[in-house]
Structures are given as structure tokens and as C-alpha cells.
Structure 1
Amino acid sequence: MSSKLNFFVALVFGSVMILAFLTYLTGTSQSIKITDLERDIIHGQTEHDFFDGGHDSPKYDVMEDDSNVGLALDTKLAEAISKNIKVACFITTMQNQLDHKLRAVNQTWGRRCDKILYVMTTNMTGADILPVEIEDDRQTLTEKTRFAFTHLYNKYLNQFDFFLKADDDTYIIMENLKYLLSHYNASQPIYMGDLFIHFAPNGYMSGGASYVLSREALKRLVENGYKVPGRCRLEGGAEDIETGRCLYKADVLSYSPVDRHGRKAFHAHNAYSYIVGPMPGFLNTYSRIPPKVGDDCCSQLTISFHYTGPKLMYLLDFLLYKISVFGRSMSYKKLKGLFQLRELTLPPTDLRRRAYPGEQIKQYYNNETDWRKLNTTIYVSDDLKRLWEKRKTREINV
């Protein structure tokens, strides 16, 4: 029982940090010039239409949360940042999660995106649904993700600054993400998340922790990646690995935000694992920055957690956005320079790493131009070939 109590207390403490950040910043910010604090109304972009048919369909404007009525909050600085940093989000999911995981996302962090798309195999239509004719299977996530990024490139490239990919059990603190992104230029090729070290020269970002592409990174992914025959794997494999490899081949720079205390902002497991433990063993061998458990686990301006089911998602959202601790405020001056913003270099040669099938680790430390010319990204194992042959005989049920 004590461990559950500790978990609850830790989450309350974390929520105070975020809310205090929003209330204290307005009078002390020197790096962000606020000239207009009136809210933009994003016409039709954040309406959640897929809950029509007997359900309440909440409609929100970006950063305009009616549930804040009665709360003593000052969100002017968060609104100002939100006005200048536009983020489009997409979530790969399945239709059978509409009333479960997606309802939780839709009623919590998803409404804080400037645009959100749920990518699923379905015949349904809606402003927030991107239907695909791709079978629901873990082996098809690469295809779904490629389809979504290509759709965003074709339709929204110049409407948004950054593009976020998340799972349907990812939780995002959007204000913290936008604060971090305000330090970057969307015209630079930026790829950001929780970096895993295997399978590519500079590894790849965990898909579950979510990852973010700048406008220029998305442009290069499609034009220098997907559209170049043989350069990137277009189906099969692990989605986050294949996307990371393709981005590296498209000459996109990798970033994995860590604060000056060595605490990460993106997290590939759930909040409970980081706050209370235990931590899954695989993260110790995959993460470029080893995970920590306890008070030192997570950046004060944490951005994401993975493996967040609907109940935990509602709990996190309530603690972060509905509860404050009287008398506590945050020092914005101390937040200056919080994050290390530099591009990541290749992992050290003495780090134990795994090579992608058909490659050798030594290739990753040779001339990167030579590696980018290789076509081994489209390597397909015999087992996967057999699986694809079986799938050809199935029908997609939607």
C-alpha cells in the first residue's frame, strides 16, 4: 500500500512543477517576446468528430480548455508559445480502440495538439480519422507510418512547424514539448525523441515514447527517403527502427533532449516504472541515456511516457492540470538552459550495439556518406517473407 501512496505523492509533486511553470513564467520571460496574447481559433482543425453517434463529442480550440473554469490559473505564456509553435500529431491505432484508448487520448492530451489524426484501418470517415487500407498487424506499422507522414507532407507541410508520431498508449505534455521546440528552428532537419542505440549509425527514436520531426525533416524524409528507390524500407520491420534509418539516410539530424541534470524528457516506459520501479531490463541495453528510477528519473519539464493505459492517462491529466500546491512557484530564470540542445553524435565505439540484419557494426563508424548509399535497409528475412505470403490470402476486416 505504501508504494501506491508514494506513487500518488510523486505524481502530485510532478503536477505542481508543471502548473507552477505556467503560472510563474508570464512576468519573467526574457527569451520569448510576447506581443499578442489573444488566442488563435484553429477553425475545424481540432474538432473530434469520430465520437458522433450517441456519444458526446467535445470540441476544443488549441489551449482553450473550458474545464479550466473555476481554476486559479494564468496560462498566458503557454498560450503565447502555442500560438507560435504549431504541432500536428498522428497516432497509429485500430478501430476497436475508439471507445477505449482513443477516447482517453481525445479527452486528455490529444486536444492540445494543433491537429490530430488517428491512423487506422477503417471505412469510417471524420476530421480526425486518416483511414488506410492496410491490415491491422504489428508488421504493417511501417506502412501505416509511411502513409501518415506522406499524407502530412502532401497536405500540411507548410501549415505546421513540427510533426509528432505517438502510439495510442502514449501520454504527451504538450506545453512542455512546445517550450522545448521553441528553442529550435523548424527549417532545420530535426528528429527528436528517446534515442535507442541499435540498428543504425545513430540509432533510432522509440516509437512508443513518441518522436517529433521538424518541417524540414519531414520534407527530407519523403523527398530524400521514401521517394528514392531502394533507400528506405517501405513495409515490414519495426516502424520506429525503419523510420530512424530512413531519416538518417535522408540526412536528418538526431536529438534526444536531456536536461542539465541528466534527466530525460521522452520516456519509453510508463510513469510508474520511472517513479516507483522496477525498470524493464531492455531499456538498460537499448537507451542511449540509461534510465533512472526514483526522484531523479525524469526532467522537470518531462514530455512523454509510454504504456499509459486509459485509467493512468486520465489520472496523469487530472494531477497535471487540475491540482496545485499553494505557495509553490517555479523560477523561470533557473529553467534557462535547462535542456541540452546539441545534435547527437555517433555512440562511442566501445558501446555494445546491435547491427541491422545484413549489416556489420563497423559499417556504422565508416564514412556516413557510404552508408547512406547502401540499400540494405530493405533487407527482408525469410520468416517475414513467409508471413507476407500468408497475409496475401487474408481479407482486411474493417
Structure 2
Amino acid sequence: MTTLFLFNFIQLFFFTNGLISNSPSQQRIFCVIKTFDGNLATRASTVHQTWASRCDKHVFLTAANLTKWNNTLLPILNLHGVSDNYMELSVKVFDALNHIIQVPQPYDFDWLFIADDDTYVIMEHLRELLQHSSRPLAFGHLFVPKNGATSHLSGGAGYAINTAALRRMLPNLQTSCADWYVPGMEDVYVSRCLQHLNVSLDGAIDGSHHRFYPLEFVTMYKMELPQWFSDYNSLESYPGFDCCSSKSISFHYMKREWMHLIEWALRVYSIMDGAAGNLGDGGFDPCECINMIQMNHERVMNRLTDMLRNAQTTCTDTECFTGPIPGLPNTGGNTGMSNMYIMLAIWFAIALLLFLFRPRTLRNNRDTLGKPNNQNPHNNGQDPPAPEVQ
């Protein structure tokens, strides 16, 4: 079902809003991704190749000894005098804030966005949310503990702080904010510091939905929610497509494979999008195509995925994952003509798949033509016995 969830993810969060390419914004976003040396070559590399490339600037925050990473292409903010273990995460983040705010050219950005290396961010939606504000402000998933504890932003879902709030934090990082130190839980630490300085924490609620999610999309979709989420969640949860806002910004605990698949799918669709108007808006609907095919045939899903993948002939597998930003088609020659052939190939393949995997009742009718009524067409060595009707 992985392919189905992939197409559903793309349909719900990108096609619905026409956001396959970058949305223009005057707001500059500086992304800081928390990681450690063991994840530099894996999670951090994947984030760098995917959503982080759409930040105006991004760095990976680690306290690792970078001697063995001399050849890394990752932009890294290396901290000294602190370790990468979880209990020192609060110190690591505050050291990073202190460094970023006081660099020789401070505030060459409008918003600072802090997230984990297993967070996936839809930057187009984040840009849409973050508008200029002279009022100190921070956005994120707002945890509201049912035990009456102070609310705080979720670190896993990511949170954005504007420069007005950062200017208020600077003179207090080593003084009053230090009184709110919480080992390990950097999101609680930062939130308490901001609240102490009268900075508004905004949960970015979209109607009855959050927009920043501390869990992955499939978990929200299936309603497989851990107890701690229920204890901290301030809104009612819903299954299926009602689980999340169509303006969702981030999901936590996202696997690397998911991040790559989403980026690859966006790249393929962006090429089709540029061929014949916005095919994602009333045209080619991958969810409908998938739903037309019997869901229990995983091999059909795999074949459809392979077919779509092979349709992208302008880049190698590696380039498709690490090339230009999705939404900026990397095509050469006659783009319109090549995309017409792609669409024809897609519809032909779908028609073939529908024929090969048409409902079993149609095949049974064909197989039983000219046969006695008491002959069981399922016991022909090809099909399994028909299930009993309850």
C-alpha cells in the first residue's frame, strides 16, 4: 500500500492547492536541522537533498568531530564543548541560537525554522504561513498537556521563530532564559523562554486541524495514535483524508524512503504539469487511477510506479533524487511533444492494467461460456477457490 499512500500524500497536500513549484515569498527562511554524526550520511543527507534545498538557507546542527566528514557537501554548524547526546540537546540548540543571532551579519533572514532530521516539511505551505510581522511570534504544533502543565511547541514537528522574537531572546539567552533550562527537551526549553519573554506561541490551526504534525502522515491517516499524543493533543483526531489539513506543513518520524519518493513523485508530476496546463487540477489524477485498479494487487501498484518512473527520461535515477528542485522541469528539446508521449504511454498502460486485472466476475463469465453450470471455474489450477459468502 506504500504507493497508494504516496499518491494520496501528493494529491492531498500538493495538487489540492496547486503547489508543485516553489511559491514566491519575500520572507527569508533559515532552516536549522538538528542531527548528530551517526545521521550525517543518512537522514541529514536525505533532508539536504529534499525539502531543505527549498529553504533560503539551511545548516545541520551537530557537535560531532567532523574530521572524517571533510568531504561532506552538507552545510554544517559545528558546535564545540557540547556532546551530541539527547540530554545536552537543549544546550546545543541554545548555543546554536546564540551563534546564529550574533554572527557578523545577523538577521539575514526573517524566520528561523528548527526541525529534526526525520522531519519532512512542505516548504510551500510554510512560506504561505509565514508573513511579515513586527510582533514577536513563533509557529508550530502547540502541545497542550491535559495535566495542566504549560503548553509548548513540538520540536519534532518543527517550529518557526521570527526575528522580532529572536531579538528579544538575544540579551536573555544566558540570563533569565537559563532559569527555564530543561535537560534534553529543547522544545520545552525554547517555548518556556519565549513565553517568559511574552512571545506569542501560535499553533497555526487550520479550522479543526493542525498544520504541524509530530507524527508521520500514515500514522495520522490510520489513526494509530500513541497515548502521549492524545494526552497532549488539543484537537479531535479523524481517520483517512480528514486526518490532516490540506495546508499541512510538516510531519515527524518520516523515513528516508518516503522523503525520496515524495520528491521523485513531485518531479515527475511537475513535468506533466508543465505539458498541458495544470494536469493536477482537474486533469491527471493519480488517486483516481489507483482506485480504478483493484487495491489488493500490490504488483499492479508496483508496475504503475515503475511505469511512471520510466516516463522520466531526462535524468538518471540518482539525478531524479538529487537534481533540481521539483517544480522546475529539467527537460530538454520539445517539452510539449515529449510530455504528450508520456501521457499517451500512461493512459495506454492504465488501460492495459485495467484489462489484465479486471474484476474476477468478468473473467468468470468468460471462462464459464459453454461450460456446464455445475463446473467450478475457480478450480482450474489458476485461480484460488472462491470465498464463501457470509
TM-score bracket for this pair, using the shorter chain length: 0.5 to 0.7
Q: Find the partner of 1:91 among 29, 33, 41.
A: 33
Q: How does 1:279-318 map to 2 (within 5 A)?
A: 279-318=225-264
Q: Find the partner of 2:281 among 329, 347, 368.
A: 329
Q: Is 1:171 aligned with 2:120?
A: yes
SS in 1 for 2:30: strand
SS in 2 for 1:136: coil
| 1:327 to 1:217, Cα distance in 2 relative to 1, 3 A | same
- Offset, 1:301: 1.6
The letter of the residue matching 1:279 is: L
Q: TM-score, normalised by structure 1?
A: 0.62
Return the alpha-carbon distance in structure 2 between the equivalents of residues 256 and 248 of structure 1.
14
Return the alpha-carbon distance in structure 1 between the equivalents of residues 245 and 264 of structure 2.
19
Q: How does 1:236-275 map to 2 (within 5 A)?
A: 236-260=183-207, 262-275=208-221
Return the alpha-carbon distance in structure 1 between the equivalents of residues 37 and 184 of structure 2.
22
Structure having the higher Rg = 2
| 1:201 to 1:282, Cα distance in 2 relative to 1, 3 A | closer
CA displacement 1:252-306 (0-9 Å, x = unmatched): 001011223x122100001111123312221111122344331111111211000
CA displacement 1:212-232 (0-9 Å, x = unmatched): 001011122222x31324753
Q: Find the partner of 1:191 among 138, 141, 144.
A: 138
Q: Which residue does 2:89 correspond to in 1?
A: 141
Q: Which residue does 1:105 correspond to in 2?
A: 47
Return the alpha-carbon distance in structure 1 between the equivalents of residues 202 and 167 of structure 2.
17
Kept in 1: contact 2:48–2:74 (CA 8 A): no
Return the alpha-carbon distance in structure 1 between the equivalents of residues 177 and 23 of structure 2.
43
Unaligned runs of 5+ in 2: 283-390
Kept in 1: contact 2:45–2:74 (CA 8 A): no
Kept in 2: contact 1:87–1:113 (CA 8 A): yes
Q: How does 1:9-24 map to 2 (within 5 A)?
A: 9-17=7-15, 21-22=18-19
Kept in 1: contact 2:50–2:263 (CA 8 A): yes
Q: Which residue does 1:80 correspond to in 2?
A: 24
Q: Is 1:208 aligned with 2:152?
A: no
SS in 1 for 2:241: coil
Return the alpha-carbon distance in structure 1 between the equivalents of residues 182 and 219 of structure 2.
32
CA displacement 1:15-39 (0-9 Å, x = unmatched): 5426x5237xxxxxxxxxxxxxxxx
The letter of the residue matching 1:295 is: F
Kept in 1: contact 2:212–2:250 (CA 8 A): yes
CA displacement 1:60-89 (0-9 Å, x = unmatched): xxxxxxxxxxxxxxx4xx4532xx110001
| 1:16 to 1:158, Cα distance in 2 relative to 1, 3 A | closer
Kept in 2: contact 1:193–1:206 (CA 8 A): yes
SS in 2 for 1:295: helix
Return the alpha-carbon distance in structure 1 between the equivalents of residues 130 and 215 of structure 2.
22
Kept in 2: contact 1:104–1:314 (CA 8 A): yes
The letter of the residue matching 1:286 is: Y
Kept in 1: contact 2:177–2:193 (CA 8 A): no
Q: Which residue does 1:319 correspond to in 2?
A: 265
- Offset, 1:312: 1.4
More helix by share: 2
| 1:188 to 1:202, Cα distance in 2 relative to 1, 3 A | farther
Return the alpha-carbon distance in structure 2 between the equivalents of residues 152 and 163 of structure 1.
10
Return the alpha-carbon distance in structure 2 between the equivalents of residues 249 and 297 of structure 1.
33
CA RMSD of aligned residues (A): 2.5
CA displacement 1:74-111 (0-9 Å, x = unmatched): x4xx4532xx1100011111112111001100100011
Kept in 1: contact 2:210–2:245 (CA 8 A): yes
Return the alpha-carbon distance in structure 1 between the equivalents of residues 92 and 28 of structure 2.
23
| 1:218 to 1:313, Cα distance in 2 relative to 1, 3 A | same
SS in 2 for 1:22: coil
Q: Which residue does 1:181 correspond to in 2?
A: 130
- Offset, 1:163: 0.2
Return the alpha-carbon distance in structure 1 between the equivalents of residues 177 and 110 of structure 2.
28
Q: Which residue does 1:52 correspond to in 2?
A: none
Percent of residue pairs identical: 28
Q: Is 1:153 aligned with 2:88?
A: no
- Offset, 1:235: 6.1
Kept in 2: contact 1:194–1:267 (CA 8 A): yes
Q: Is 1:228 aligned with 2:175?
A: yes
Kept in 2: contact 1:257–1:264 (CA 8 A): yes
Count the aligned residue pairs: 268
The letter of the residue matching 1:150 is: N
| 1:131 to 1:172, Cα distance in 2 relative to 1, 3 A | same
The letter of the residue matching 1:113 is: C
Kept in 2: contact 1:192–1:256 (CA 8 A): yes
Q: How does 1:59-78 map to 2 (within 5 A)?
A: 75=21, 78=22
Unaligned runs of 5+ in 1: 24-74, 331-398
Return the alpha-carbon distance in structure 1 between the equivalents of residues 161 and 14 of structure 2.
29
CA displacement 1:297-328 (0-9 Å, x = unmatched): 11112110000121111122233443268644
The letter of the residue matching 2:12 is: G
